Structure 1
Amino acid sequence: MRLRIRVRPGAGRTAVGGRYGDDETLVVAVRERAVDGAATDAAVRAVAAAFGLPRAQIRIVGGRTARTKVLEVVGRPDHIAQRLARLLEGPEWSR
């Protein structure tokens, strides 16, 4: 399944959740700055944790250097869709 995320680097803490705009773009706030791919790596790790999946089951298929990215998530589509719907409602905080 593919999903779109909007990365917010330099946040006070890492959080996954909420919508960016009117569509189903998931907001991912990370502490890391957008330097040498650090924010991108942190965002993918945060998404993996939020979906309860290993990092290896998520890969970037679009927007590697942009704030809006497209991820391919491998897993049970029903689990991913349910989790995405819940995350779009609001943030889930992490470290």
Structure 2
Amino acid sequence: WPNSSAGVSWDSGTPMASLRLKVTPSASRDAVVGWQEDVLRVHVRAPAQRGKANDAVLRLLADALGVERSRLRIVRGETSRQKVLSVDGLDGAQIRARLGSASS
């Protein structure tokens, strides 16, 4: 990706971006915690079993970004707390604006 800004990278010619995430499963609540350096911290109540935490992350971020869940995909880190998520239809600036309230 030629462009990047604090955990969000994108290609200017393509309406798709990727986000670096650090996920905490089995948390007390579902929340987009905020940016820690260039990684977006996300907490989900779901346990890290049989994809439950991944599903919860996708639901939470789809809601936070105001997009359909089908536009989000985990491209790296399916079984790790460190993940890379692709967002179809939004560029990096749009993602930062929509997650602005979660920025720290």
- TM band (smaller chain): 0.7 to 0.9
Q: Relative contact order: is structure 1 or structure 2 higher (C-alpha 8 Å, sep ≥ 6)?
A: 1
Q: Is the 8 A contact 1:24 1:88 kept in 2?
A: no
What are the Cα deviations for residues 18-38 of structure 1, in whole angstroms up to 9, with x where unaligned? 134xx2211110011111111
- Identity of aligned pairs, percent? 43
Partner residue of 1:18? 34
Partner residue of 1:81? 96
Unmatched 5+ stretches in structure 1? 90-95
1:4 and 2:34 matched: no
Unmatched 5+ stretches in structure 2? 1-16
Q: Is the 8 A contact 1:17 1:28 kept in 2?
A: yes
**Aligned length, in residue pairs:** 87
Superposition TM-score, scaled by structure 1 size: 0.82
Superposition TM-score, scaled by structure 2 size: 0.76
Distance 2:54 2:90 in 1: 24
Q: Bigger radius of gyration, 1 or 2?
A: 2
Q: Aligned Cα RMSD in Å?
A: 1.4
Where is the helix percentage greater, Structure 1 or Structure 2?
Answer: 1
Write out the 4+ residue segments of structure 1 that deviate beyond 6 Å after TM superposition.
Answer: none
**Letter of the structure 1 residue corresponding to residue 25 of structure 2:** P
Shift of 1:44: 1.2
Distance 1:27 1:72 in 2: 16
Q: 1:84 to 1:55 in 2, by over 3 A?
A: same
